[in-house]
Amino acid sequence: MERKIWIDVMKGMGIISVVAGHIFQGKIIEIIYLFHMPLFFFIGGYLFKPNQDIKKNFHAKASHLLVPYCVFLIIIYFTFCLPSLNGLTAKEMFVVLFLRPVFLRSFLGNRFNSGAGFLAVFWFPTCFFLVQQLTNALVVKTSKRQTLIISVAMLALSYINSLVMPRFFLPWGGHILLAALPLYYAGYLYKTGHYNLNRLSVCILSVLVIASEFVLKNNRYDMVRVNYGIPLVTFFSSLIIILFIKEFAVKIAKFNAIALLLAEFGKASMVVMYTHQAIQITTGHYIKNNPEFRFFFSLILSYLLYILIKKFRLSRALLLGLKKDQTQVKADVQKYLSVW
């Protein structure tokens, strides 16, 4: 089936917003925090296809999402720690790299890595994986009405987590799943034709939402910090802005040059997600008080890394999680081992 370019355009706009949100400040960033991470869960729901074989679905999505997660985590963690390893014995180095709480917390998804840290976005792929698995199980095993009721209940629990127990968290962003699954399921319902709004309604509501940002306080979806804003108001505000971006992406997709540029960033979105923090933080050590340079440099270098990763089968298998390449690499390894 032909790939819809507007989806990649939408993802491109989303990942550019993510990078901007980690570098700039001000009112525009508050608006970005209303939609930038919810957008990826919504798109995931839009692209979601139920799989009756739950076990097969688990293995397929684990290969696609968790393999790159582990490899990128190890690369960035080792790069961050290596400067402090000089002069250590082999035993001390092992303890530092593998047994120190910071590594264990990083692998399991530590909420204290949020903010400006190298691993600030590493909660997303694992949480996305959990959302995929639970949504698939619900859609396959329960009725639409039951799945909707469970989604609403999870949304309510997310507010309890945010307002009453903000320090509660689960490994791999499991606690964020409460807020993420309703967004994911909303994307699925939108694709299946439920609860759609016409273009004029989306535009009018989007103007009202943006205008309200200058009046309402805390109307933002800061998922990693378990701040889900104003109950229901922020959730629906986020969906309205996401639908507006979707309509905008459909229009932009008709203009080749702009569409191709945004779509390329959309295709590279996961690589950009993993790498931009390490690039922009490191750059900030040498070039201070120039957020614009950090923004563009992080985007461009992250994209160039994506291009480099695409050139080799092994990197595509490990860092992009492409099934075809993973199968071929596995076959090559087995062939090599059989010779020995």
Percentage of the chain beyond pLDDT 90 is 58
SS3 at position 227: strand
Range of the domain at 107: 5-339
Q: Give the pLDDT score at 12.
A: 96
Q: Give the pLDDT score at 116.
A: 47
Per residue in 111-144, pLDDT (tens digit) is 545 444 788 888 999 999 999 999 999 999 999 9
Q: Give the pLDDT score at 322.
A: 92
Q: How many domains does the chain have?
A: 1
Instruction: Please give the Cα distance from 196 to 123 (Å, whole number).
Output: 30
pLDDT band at 94 (very low <50, low <70, confident <90, very high): low
With 90 as the cut, is the pLDDT of residue 274 above it? yes
**Closest of 214, 219, 130, 133 to residue 177, by C-alpha:** 130
Neighbours of 236 (CB within 10 A): 13
As a whole number, mean pLDDT of residues 172-183 equals: 93
* Alpha carbon separation from 3 to 130, 218, 229, 253 (Å, rounded): 25, 37, 34, 12
Q: Pick the most confident of 44-58, 185-199, 208-222.
A: 44-58
